Structure 1
């Protein structure tokens, strides 16, 4: 009976949902989310704040530094005109780089990383490394004008880690699962106190 009283006091989602939310575990409740007219843009991290890899621009040395500096799940790949090329996970990038067996003491570190066939042709064979195998086969892309509740619903039903926003083929930003989880934890003002390790966001 005591546990029921506590659960009722916590809210309609129940004490277990509340505990998960307050610990900031990356879990999304099955509750129906309704926005108040907001769009995906209100959740989106704009391109200017997104850490990206630039196709046919980023060198092996810079890519390795990027992987070492950020604990993100993955990175968006764009070209010099912000055209979206693809998305590559940190793990897959590391695997492909290791498979290439590059010489860390020679000129391999200065070679350019290419991901698309178009940009690959613009760089001399001896001056590039092909990392196209690191790209994920399919990536969810939306326009930032879509209803916010659609974005949330897709995270809930498809168990996504991120959704990328594009316009006319160009990357405009992204939203991660952590941001959507935060939508459901705003009702718990003391969540940060119980969170031992603040999450990385990308």
Structure 2
């Protein structure tokens, strides 16, 4: 077919989009659906592949990945494979770990906990001395429940709150067990970090509770993994601030 200036514009546009987005076959199909120029499939495919190869030579991230990293969104790229020697306990957060116990809470103490916390939720344990994992409660859920409690004139700041069944209680109390996730996903401290990353990807998790013999020792968040990956990408390692236990 006779070449016109339009074909150069199509190939150039495809090359620019291919270099920016790193899409190949999908982009070619979209262009042919829009333009109907199936006879120009070869030059368009060559232009798209060349732009992708040149872009990959400077960096494998597309503009979308770059914007996600710039905005700081917690995103794990499914196309990237990581091979770490560390365990889950090496990357988890364990300092200033905020937990709730099944008993010993009041409406006022829970509201204070919510006001000072920046976490998405709280692990619930039996006690601080023996923190056996009972469940997990989301911050938004607990805030909504506390707001409903305050609307009840019979509930005061000193009203007791429990995350488990209470037998023989003589005073008024609030049972929060209905809003408790009683089966949060847990991993052992010896779990390889690679396996934990696969769990985050496959299950779409935001956190994993790290336990030792059923007792909570830390929480592994997606943010912790992303920070660890970024440090390795820059050729650094996670600094050890001292003994964990």
Same fold (TM over 0.5): yes
Q: CA RMSD in A?
A: 2.6
**Is 2:187 the counterpart of 1:142?**
yes
**Is 2:125 the counterpart of 1:78?**
yes
TM-score, length-scaled by structure 2? 0.65
TM-score, length-scaled by structure 1? 0.78
Q: Deviations over 1:60-118 (max 9, x none)?
A: 101001112223211111122312111000111122223334657x772112221122x
What is the correspondence of 1:43-192 to structure 2 with a 5 Å cutoff?
A: 43-46=91-94, 48-80=95-127, 81-101=130-150, 108-117=156-165, 120-121=166-167, 124-186=169-231, 187=233
Alpha carbons 2:150, 2:156 under 8 Å: kept: no
Alpha carbons 2:99, 2:123 under 8 Å: kept: yes
Cα distance in 2 for residues equivalent to 1:185 and 1:128: 46
Cα distance in 1 for residues equivalent to 2:139 and 2:116: 11
Query: Unaligned stretches of 5+ in structure 2?
Result: 1-14, 20-50, 236-245
**1:28 alignment partner in structure 2:** 76
Query: Unaligned stretches of 5+ in structure 1?
Result: 190-202
Which structure features the higher share of helix residues? 2
